Amino acid sequence: MAKNKEAKNKEAKTNGDASKETTQLPLFYKNPTPLDAKKHASLSLKKDFGFSFTKDINAVPVNMVEMPQICHFYPIAFSPDDNATPVAILGLRDNENLFLDAQNNWDMNAYIPAYIRRYPFIFSEIPDSDQLTLCIDHTDEITEESKERPLFDAESAPSDLAKNALEFCKSYHAAAGQTLEFSKAIAQQGLLIEREAQINIAGNRRINFSGFRIIDEKKLSELDDKVFLEWRKKGWLPFLYAHLFSGAQWQRLTRLLNQRLEKEAA
């Protein structure tokens, strides 16, 4: 029985900011380390490390602003916790990403969620401060001592690579805050219901995929007019509908899984 473990994975400090807590790291990250010009003067990002870090996940957090793109490729669901984090469903079996091929290339025709594109960089909270610092997942798979793709230049200033990562993380952090407000409001209005998808696959077999929530269209249609108008003023309506439209992508996942099963059987 496939179960959406990633959707239950509490990934995260609201879409994945690193924190002072060490007991639970954001999804993908093994050793998020604050970048330091002295300590990391010769540190470089490995070239073309690819998307292998996504191989064993079947859902990933998404931000509200990207849901109109996400809905064309992935079903969008909401996590079962109080934050109700929106997630893109990437696979129907545990530890399987259907958008990644055997060479760790992402499906060239599919939008890549920002959470994945941000990796291996992430913001971290500075203890007893509202400030954030840029971190990198400092592992042998991601970083190396070289001049290939340096994070700092000869004058110990951030390289263009580090500057671009900083700007991306700034944008992501702002979007994550907006997403938290959006998803919590949906949960607080009681619009989310638990759902189980029954997927028919090759060989007359069936996968029951659970552990996620969706917006109940009936409850949405009965939403208080005052709340609905407030959400319209906030510009949230397109993102609600993007979630609803994304339901058509369960068929895409079923097709991708059947194609993979055919290859496995060959």
Q: What pLDDT does residue 1 have?
A: 23
Domain tally for the chain? 1
Residue 45, burial from CB neighbour count under 10 angstroms (0-12, 13-18, 19+): buried
**Domain presence at residue 212:** yes
**Domain presence at residue 254:** yes
Q: What pLDDT does residue 131 have?
A: 82
Q: What pLDDT does residue 231 have?
A: 98
Q: What pLDDT does residue 265 have?
A: 80
* Strand-pair category, 32-34 with 132-137: antiparallel
**Domain presence at residue 3:** no
**Domain presence at residue 145:** yes
Q: What pLDDT does residue 4 have?
A: 39
**Domain presence at residue 1:** no
Q: What pLDDT does residue 199 have?
A: 85
**Domain presence at residue 4:** no
Beta bridge partners, 144, equal 44
86-126: per-residue pLDDT in tens? 999 999 999 999 999 999 999 999 999 999 999 999 998 76
Q: Output the average pLDDT for the chain.
A: 89
**Domain presence at residue 2:** no
Per-residue pLDDT of the chain in tens (266 residues, 90 and over written 9): 234 333 333 333 334 443 333 358 999 999 999 999 999 999 999 988 889 999 999 999 999 999 999 999 999 999 999 999 999 999 999 999 999 999 999 999 999 999 999 999 999 876 666 788 999 999 999 999 998 999 999 999 999 999 999 999 999 999 999 999 999 999 999 999 999 888 888 777 888 888 899 999 999 999 999 999 999 999 999 999 999 999 999 999 999 999 999 888 87
85-97: per-residue pLDDT in tens? 999 999 999 999 9
Kindly report the pTM of this predicted structure.
0.88
Alpha helical stretches, state H, the chain? 13-16, 67-70, 114-118, 160-188, 217-221, 225-234, 237-245, 250-265
Domain that holds residue 141: 13-260
The answer for 196, left when phi > 0, alpha when psi is -120 to 50, beta otherwise, is: beta
CA dihedral for 115, 120, 126, 129, sign (positive or negative): negative
**Domain presence at residue 8:** no
